[in-house]
Chain A
């Protein structure tokens, strides 16, 4: 039964996931703990006001009020750190769980069992999805708790939307890496291409407001779709639905691609 591959996918990566979650929670708590010492500080506002517009635009500083709890968390966590954590976990797992296992030669015996490749791919994709769900939940709990303790006053609805967006980013890139590995048995290639997609997405997401010619390409930025200031501005649920749909399409593509090709032996 393919469900066993789901179980094993999570189990094999359990310790790494634990580390990932602990790191994310620690970083969230650490950053929220400094907020009281700079929140509402006129100096910081002054520094930011004097930054060049381009810098403000790229880092999304113009749109948010850094001295509020929401603005602080948007800038310090949601603009780059949390998405990066989720994307790195997603890409690593998505590339490892299929292409990585295949390269190591461990997939051959499993696929000789009575099991459809399609189901195997979906089970592995589900394991990647659940890893990101766990990470997103840990982020949510850490942010909600730290927000209360250090008085950041974060709107809970926005927080849920923001964390959901981060989780979806991770799933999107993870399933992209899975699909790449399903098409070509090369873990390095899956990681590289998926990471490049994330990098380009981040650059476009930061730059399109500055360079008007990039404006039409903003649809290519996964970061633009989930939004980089979810706590100040909220998320666009319709956009999150689009990201989820694209991610599902990638997972489906992965299952079809893997069905078609030869399994490689090292």
Chain B
């Protein structure tokens, strides 16, 4: 089973009511050792997927496996190797952080105090105050520690950096990279592109319970629209660019022309621009946000 996928789902479907599918025939394969981003708007079916993977809810149809173990039949063995951070983390308010972590370690049946202490130090976790007195961010840190403290082979993280300050978000991204470098797998669910685009190797986009697309982050960027801003030394005619296939003139005044173009049109654009004297030329890749907005639009139109 060493080479089984970290997560595999086949036709995974969940209907709470007969006519509405919270998740509809999900086919997904997450490889070992990757950070996999699972991206979609709120209510897209992300948490439903996660809760199916953890056997908290049962599929209407389809199957899922974690590390080669069926989530229904071998759920306990599977979860022994999984760390989970819920999107809506609720801890035992009356316990201190330390008591909560100790209790969870006993629940798992194993303890790695040195690993836990490292994480506690790294994220500056408050251990000796009752959890009800902690801020959202400080609770979230406890959630991070409990998910990672047994060094699980697979981490399932639902909106993990919500409430963490920017410095710790950076530290958290580092932790994800280390985890993947270690050959372990991270499944990172989020509605925020920002949270996943710098951490993930591949992304799945989900909406209305359906998988829209799975691709490498780099590949998505490669296909993405570029924004090119050309500043000319003297007034130039933007009509020359409008004639090139795929190019859209976003704005043009006397000397500054802003264009949006596919990667394939870059050569023609640069050559057209070179006929004038150029002061500056900036090319910026589109934010993934735009890529996904395009995909969303495409998938909504297709219905």
A: which residues have CB within 8 A of B?
A: 1, 3-5, 7-8, 12, 104-106, 108-116, 261-263, 265-266
Contacts and interface: CB of A to CB of B under 8 A. Distances in A.
Nearest to A109: B86
Given A112-B54, A114-B77, A115-B76, A265 B88 contact: yes
B106 interface: yes
A8 B107 CA distance: 10
A8 B90 contact: no
A182 to B, nearest CB: 15
Interface of B: 47, 51, 54, 56-58, 76-77, 79-80, 82, 84, 86, 88-92, 94, 103-104, 106-109, 146
A114 B80 contact: yes
A106 B91 contact: yes
Contacts, number: 66
Interface SS majority for chain A? loop
Contacts of B106: 1, 3-4, 7
B90 A114 contact: no
Given A8-B92, A106-B90, A109-B86, 6 more contacts: A1-B107, A108-B51, A109-B91, A112-B84, A116-B76, A262-B57
B84 to A, nearest CB: 4
A104 B57 contact: no
A245 B54 CA distance: 34
Nearest to B87: A265
Contact of B107 (A4, A12, A261): A4
A115 B92 contact: no
A8 B106 CA distance: 11
B77 to A, nearest CB: 7
The residue among A12, A114, A263 with the most chain B CB atoms within 10 A of its own CB is A114
A262 B58 CA distance: 6
B130 to A, nearest CB: 13
A7 B103 CA distance: 9
A95 B10 CA distance: 37
B108 A114 contact: yes
A109 B108 contact: no
A171 to B, nearest CB: 25
Contact of B108 (A7, A104, A108, A113): A113
The residue among B56, B80, B89, B91 with the most chain A CB atoms within 10 A of its own CB is B56
Contact of A1 (B57, B79, B109, B146): B109
Contact of A109 (B58, B80, B82, B90): B90
A110 B92 CA distance: 11
21 contacts: A5-B107, A7-B106, A8-B92, A12-B92, A105-B90, A106-B91, A109-B104, A111-B56, A112-B79, A112-B82, A113-B79, A113-B107, A114-B76, A114-B109, A261-B58, A262-B58, A263-B51, A265-B47, A265-B51, A265-B88, A266-B88
